[in-house]
Amino acid sequence: MPQSLLKLDNVTKVFLTDEVETHALSGIHLEINKGEYVAIAGPSGCGKSTLLSILGLLDTPTEGTYLLNDRPVQGLTPAERARIRNRQIGFIFQSFNLIGDLSVYENVELPLTYRGMPASDRKARVEEALEKVGMAHRAKHVPSQLSGGQQQRVAVARALAGYPAVLLADEPTGNLDSKNGDAVMELLHSLHRAGSTILMVTHDTRFARHAQRTVHLFDGRVVEESVEEKA
């Protein structure tokens, strides 16, 4: 029996700018189980990133409910949301979002420091994560000394280091050439095989096929769900 990890029920997101309402999401129903690899696809402006922001607790829905591990999260305080982001969600961004003034090691270590984890434990987790993405040898470098593909690997390591319940990837290959893009997708694939739950936003159907299931968005609504036979 699959176990539900994320569940959105009738989620709506409205942005209000200068008294003009923009409906970014309308009546979204979505459920993602533990261990699933789901892609969210759709054209630019369809609400993919807004949906990911809500799932990642970076934003709140205007209406509807959001259950994470069967717990409603829409009414949490900013501090509780930060705690959940830190412990249960791993983020991978299109533009890597590494902190340029920190070394590779420090970037990966950063979310662990916010947990108050002892230094020795942090060290073990960081080394493990960097080993997993094949970047242990660049631990002392700063992001500007790495290629785009390497930076994204570091970002993946940072997301993994905290043993999150789900990895949220927002166009993870968007800033990479095809070779590096393929390598990152392969990395995500291997992580999924190892048991990680992954939710990936992409507008590229080629990469969406790596997921078990693809949710298609258009104008803020789920218009189609397709299941890949070979995930």
Partner 1 sequence: MFSDIRFACRQLIKNPGFTATSLITLALCIGANLVIFAVVDAILVRPLPFPRAGRLVTMYYVYPKLPSASPGASTTNYYERRAKIPALSSLAAIDENTSVIGESGSTSIERLGRVTSEFFSTLGVAPLLGRAFTDAEMTYQTDHVAILSYEYWRSAYGADPKVLGRSIRRDGVMCAIVGVLPPSFRFLSFQAPVYVPLSSEEAERNVGSRHSVGKVLIGRMADGSQLADVQAQIDALDIQIAPQFAEAKLVADAGTHTVVAPLQADHVAPVRPMLVLLQAAALFLLLIGCINLVNLLLVRATNRAKELAIRRTLGAGQRHIVSGVMAETMILAVVGAVLGLWVGAVGIRFLGILGVDQLPLGAEVAFNGRIAVTALLGAAVVGACVSVPIAWFNLRGGLALALKSESRGGTADVAALRLRRGFIVAQIALAFVLLTGAGLLGTSLRRAMAVSPGFRPDHVITGQFNLTWNGYRTLDTFHTFFDRLFERTRALPGVSAVGAATSVPLAGLTGGDVMTVPGYTPASGGEGLLVHDQIGVAGDYFEAMGIPLRSGRFLEPADAGLDHQVGLVDEAFALHYWPGGGAVGKQVYLGTDTGPDNKPFTIVGVVGTVKQAGLTEHKARGTLYFPFSREYLRKYVLVARTQLTPDSVANTLVKVVREADPDVTLSDLRSMEVRVSDSLSTRRSTALMAGIFAASALLLATIGIYGVMAYAVAQRTREFGVRIALGARELDVLRLVFVEGVRLAAVGLAAGMLLALLLTRYMSSLLYGVGSNDPLAFAGVAALIALVACLACLLPARRATRVDPVVALRAE
The secondary structure element, H or E, covering residue 40 is strand 37-41
**Which of 91/207 has CB closer to partner 1?**
91
50 is a contact residue toward partner 1 (CB under 8 A):
yes
* 42, 56, 143, 149: which one binds partner 1 (CB under 8 A): 56
In sign, the C-alpha dihedral spanning 84, 53, 168, 32 is positive
Closest of 193, 190, 144, 151 to residue 172, by C-alpha: 151
Residues 159-198 that bind partner 1 (CB under 8 A): 162
85 is a contact residue toward partner 1 (CB under 8 A):
yes
Contact, 108 vs 99, CB < 8 A? no
**Which of 18/229 has CB closer to partner 1?**
18
Q: How far is the CB of 231 from partner 1 (least distance, A)?
A: 27
Show Cβ contacts of residue 164 under 8 Å, excluding neighbours closer than 6 positions: 87, 88, 89, 90
Q: Which two tokens stand for residue 198?
A: 């992954």
111 is a contact residue toward partner 1 (CB under 8 A):
yes
110 is a contact residue toward partner 1 (CB under 8 A):
yes
**Which of 143/149 has CB closer to partner 1?**
143
From the list 33-41, 83-91, 177-185, 195-203, the region that binds partner 1 by CB under 8 A is: 83-91
151 is a contact residue toward partner 1 (CB under 8 A):
no
Contact, 210 vs 37, CB < 8 A? yes
Q: How far is the CB of 123 from partner 1 (least distance, A)?
A: 13
* 2, 10, 99, 225: which one binds partner 1 (CB under 8 A): 99
125 is a contact residue toward partner 1 (CB under 8 A):
no
Helices of type H across 162-223: 178-193, 205-208
Q: Which residues pair with 30 in a beta bridge?
A: 8
DSSP character at residue 3: P
Q: Is 46 helix (H, G, I), strand (E, B) or coil?
A: coil
User: Residues in the site for partner 1, rule: CB under 8 A?
Assistant: 49-50, 53, 56, 58-59, 78-79, 82-83, 85-87, 91, 93, 95, 97-102, 110-111, 113-115, 158, 162
